Amino acid sequence: MKLGIVDMEMATAHHSVSLSALAHATNVDPNKYRFGLRQENFSMPALDEDAVTLGATAASRVLARTGKTAIRTLIFATESSVDQSKSAGVFAADLLDLSVNTRIVETKQACYAGTAALQMALGIVARNPQEQVLVIASDIARYAVNTAGEPTQGAGAVAMVVGADPQLLEIEPQTGVWSAHIDDFWRPNDLSTPLVDGARSLDAYLGAFTGAWEDYLAHGGAGLDEIDYFVHHQPFTKMAVKGHRRLVEHTGKLIDEQTVEPGLRYTTQFGNSYTASLYLGLLSLLHSDADLDGKRIGLYSYGSGATGEFFTGVVQPGYRRVIDSHYADAAINEREELSFEEYRALHAAHERGSKHDYQNPRVTRAPFRFVGVRDGARSYQRNTLPTDSGVISTINKS
Ligand code: CAA
């Protein structure tokens, strides 16, 4: 029985920030970001967006195609958690009108949690093949300003329906895993932005990759020459290229960089999306011109702290009848660009706790919005009314 991704969709945030504007305003050579990180823009949420609204938006798009009657489990992967106790999935399920007979949980291990959710989903559908699992990976990568991580911010969500007889991608059972306790990137409970040891994080990412690759081979994985394309976790686009070069160095084999390039398009535009990043890369490959019928894709997932996993999927013949690049193209083109000053004001305005009540200005055009906090509880709604106008005025109203 084949198990895997039946269908998947994405969402990103309302705003974008150009890295050349950030570079100019902070006296950095724009080529550092353009060529050194291979980033053009990053997505930035409006005040009435968060990981729940992005995730629910991606999920509503995929469920519009698959329907939701077979969904009995929702696994929400995020490191932009909105509550220390309640799963972001509970808020999302309410917005999506999922049945009350749904099992809901949130997973966390930095950017790796989306893959943990996918593997758990495969386990559930292996036991009950008539059921499907909704996996949502949704994150807002928000770093402190004037740090090396600032240009690698971003936001995005991917929702996947996981089940038997997948029309999109069969996930093969062989997998390689690697974990170690490493302080490369982490976010203590009382901080809203992560602490990062940049150089260490690059080493940890690459070390976990070769560790996971060797474990994959030891567990009966396919040979290098049997893998047609690679998609890597992309904290910034250049990192995937670095990962690819490390594999070449590690195996001593020549692997064409064109096996990686088609998976890089979206991160260049959206920036880091933590748990969603690998799967946005997969969508970028599936939406590309490459003819992928029957092709095997190698997927490398990495979460700081650290866990890495390498696994493979086989694209199902006829997959083009399932996928639709409409939302991704719209997300790239329709974001409202912020000036540097607007971006920094919005960055500061996101710094809010739950001790005081507040209502968010109406900005996002997405199907769901984060209304605000009252008595410590977050509220969300379907987005039916027109938006307020003007970015700065909406920041000031908050
Ligand atoms: N023109 C062209 N290229 C230039 C340049 C210029 N004027 N100036 C610098 N560069 C190049 C550098 O040569 C370098 O390229 P290589 O890596 O290929 O050598 C690149 O630009 C970056 O330059 P620096 O190393 O000097 O950059 P930095 O010190 O500012 O930090 C970073 C880079 C560590 C990635 C930082 O952005 C950061 O801390 N990011 C957040 C952490 C992160 O994303 N880590 C990745 C692995 S961890 C992970 O994957 C989990 C996750 O999602 C966070």
pLDDT by position in tens, the chain (length 398): 999 999 999 999 999 999 999 999 999 999 999 999 999 999 999 999 999 999 999 999 999 999 999 999 999 999 999 999 999 999 999 999 999 999 999 999 999 999 999 999 999 999 999 999 999 999 999 999 999 999 999 999 999 999 999 999 999 999 999 999 999 999 999 999 999 999 999 999 999 999 999 999 999 999 999 999 999 999 999 999 999 999 999 999 999 999 999 999 999 999 999 999 999 999 999 999 999 999 999 999 999 999 999 999 999 999 999 999 999 999 999 999 999 999 999 999 988 888 899 999 999 999 999 999 999 999 999 998 655 544 444 444 44
Q: Is the minimum distance from the CB of 159 to ligand 1 under 6 angstroms?
A: no
Q: Is the minimum distance from the CB of 35 to ligand 1 under 6 angstroms?
A: yes
> How far lies 193's CA from each of 151, 173, 353, in Å?
14, 36, 13
Nearest CA to ligand 1 atom 11: 36
Nearest CA to ligand 1 atom 54: 235
Residues of the chain with CATH 3.40.47.10: 3-168+324-397, 175-318
Residue 179: HSE in the Cβ half-sphere, 13 Å Cα cutoff: 8
Burial (Cβ within 10 Å: 0-12, 13-18, ≥19) of residue 12: buried
- Kindly state which CATH superfamily the domain 3-168+324-397 is placed in: Thiolase/Chalcone synthase (3.40.47.10)
The 3-state DSSP class for residue 357 equals: coil
Q: Which residues pair with 292 in a beta bridge?
A: none
If you measure from the C-alpha of residue 196 to the centroid of ligand 1, how many angstroms do you get, rounded to a whole number? 12
Cβ-contact 42, 154 below 8 angstroms? yes
Cα separation, 123 vs 142, whole angstroms: 32
Which sign does the torsion angle of CA 270, 274, 275, 279 carry? positive
Q: Is the minimum distance from the CB of 234 to ligand 1 under 6 angstroms?
A: no
In sequence order, the 6+-apart residues with CB closer than 8 A to the CB of 250 are 210, 213
Q: Is the minimum distance from the CB of 203 to ligand 1 under 6 angstroms?
A: no
Nearest CA to ligand 1 atom 39: 198
The correct CATH number of 175-318 out of 3.40.47.10, 2.60.40.10, 3.40.309.10, 3.90.1150.10 is 3.40.47.10
